[in-house]
Structure 1
Amino acid sequence: MSTMNIIKIKDEYNTSTADSKISVSFRDLKADLSRCFDGDKYLWIRFLLFDVLSIGDLTTPLSIGNDLLNALEDKGLITSTDVNILLEISKTSGATQAKVLLAKYMRDNNVQETRTSKTKLSPYRKRLFKALKQVDPDALRNVTSFYGLRKYNFSNIWDAVLKLEIEEELAANSDKIKKFASRLGKRARSTLLDKGNSKKENENETESLSQECEPSEDLSMDDFRLLIADFVRWFDAGGFQSLNILKVLFIEMLGDIEELKRANGTTELLALLMGPGLLSKKNLSVLYDTIKVTEQYTFESSITKKLHPFKNIREHEVVSFSQHTISIFDLGKSLSDQDIKDLDGRYNFPIRRMYIDAWSLILHFEDRGLLSEHNIAYIKNFLNKKKKINKVD
């Protein structure tokens, strides 16, 4: 397919989207956003709002993100025409689907991002959030032991940190940060204590949040078209399996599995990303991240030589895909032919689906809501037990 046809698909998609546009209410937006922060992600949004809401709002027995969003609205921190703090939260947390929902809401309701010199989330909070997402498995035990918190039986690092912040054992104070960082793993500790990173965050406070993913290079539209064409050619060469792998990676970003089902090639998938602005000549993150996650390190185009991230793709930090998406992808990679048969029999009894590969199974399970964090752990445990039984037999 020619590069002109690729861009034409994007233009047609944008036109059809605009024609069928349905304005989403602010109430619906909050409800949809709350679903983006369910489960463990609720702990993320609560942590990020520590400097914004009162301790009472944060410690009331809440269980879903919608309660916190209502608290923000009650205090006038968000309105139907001001969703800036929600943009900050979605971008800081890497909640791609939340960013898509906000972008659509703002576009449909003509809501503009207010550019101010001061953001709601401090550089310290953003850096601490990033560090907590990188902690080693032993970090919770080390933190609770060091600070005498074992009696609370915390099940996650976020609750433990909330307690420390309430007790003022942890704050934007160099001594307290250093003491806390010493209880974390090497990677998280480095992130938290990286003064260069902190300085950079402060410098970026005055910049628009929408510029986060823009490459430093000035990429022309012709270069963008060539890069897309090369990317399409590379992944289409992998056949149907490669297409399903991309669908697994993009499903959370797009949120509409029916659109994914209808996509018959890489070109159509990329057009779906271009529609809401998830992929553009100024935002190539999803291409970098796809190559990094799928380990297609030999991918090359004349354009990749001009773009810094492609030169160091192995060290590139993935930002487009959530940890949940990565977990689902890792599960798909780990499935053997026997695993696929075992899961088919376990979840589709008495009628088997006879999946052609692991990725078609993953897509079907995701469509049925069978791949929550808890269920992924159950699936892995189930497969391990089956393997032990098969060895005995």
Structure 2
Amino acid sequence: MANEQEEKDRYTEFLKNLSDEYKGEKCRWLRFLLCDYLSESLLTNKDVFAFDLFNQIREKNIIKHPEVNLLSEIAEVTDVAAAKLVIEDYANGVKRGRTLSPYRKALFAALIDVIPGDFRKLQSSYELDRCCFYDKWDLVLHLEIKGRLDNTKEKIKQFADILSDKKAKDKLSNLSTLTETRENLQSTSSVEQLGVYAPAPKELNRKNFNAMLLKTSRWYQARNKLTMLKLLFTNDVKASKEFDDVKSLFDALVESRKIYVRNYKYLIDMVKVTDTRGVVEDVELLSDANKDGKITSFTPYRLTLMKMGNALSKDEAKEVGSLYDVPQNAYTDQWSLIMHLERTKNVFANGAREFVEDLKDIGLHHVASKLITTNKRSCSPDVPKSKKKKKR
């Protein structure tokens, strides 16, 4: 255990040393290259330094000791010799884990060549306020965040047509060709062998992703599923009880990078867990929810609570509320009741035996069975573990 902690501390020191090589404009390079993994608030915060960015992706398990693949690739793309040496000196570095997409690398290579005159042309063409952007990196990040630039051929071409610098235009032309090739090969089995990046469906750019979220949130809002989703997302967004509608809840998930353009499996798992596959009829991009596949976005404990909520009727929820002296104004349905019981520590992942017996006593065997099944194997980190009694 001590050795493992020592390795983690050594990795932290390694990240500090590496961050020292990304200051000033180089920090903006880093922010740009990592933007697929970072929240919008972090991307737009000018007081964030390189080590903050590394810490953020470490907390999200995008990098972890002793992996250096993503970091090594950043050093190569930015061609920072000192950063390469820091990585080389970290002897335990292992080249595995996530990497940068070809789109991100190619766009970075093109932006390096964008001249000040073209920067001003971009501000004018995209009708951006000049006082808001002081360099090309912040400007392009803004365009990507707002969905005005992404890895679609049309938007890359629109961006390239504004530029006058031949080097940048040529690189963007190559990027456009890469994008077209990726789209043509995306459905073939040879994509991985050719090394072509194949993320979400080609029609899913940031604009369509936002449209998907809007349609999905409308579907759940129209069916009064807000409290159900609050229970499901309790550990994924801060103060989920404060959200007044499904759209604001989804916005918080985007902000925390639980869902983003290249990965919306979280939403697919959400549909499976809540057994609301009817949403697929309105939101075709969620069709994978109808396929078999392991649910990895939520803990067994959280799944148990969802099963319990699905098993309880509103009248039965009132019975459970009365059993635990929960004021009727403290909940509106079975989902908000379960949230209340969770906050007051009446439901635990490994200590629900008494709760199960209480449900049986009032005749709710079908609800108790939902807890019994999962309690035998549930070992969730998001709830307190019950203390084991010593054998006499």
TM-score class, shorter = 0.3 to 0.5
- Report 1 or 2 for greater relative contact order, CA contacts < 8 Å, sequence distance ≥ 6: 1
TM-score w.r.t. the length of structure 2 is: 0.45
TM-score w.r.t. the length of structure 1 is: 0.45
Structure having the higher Rg: 2
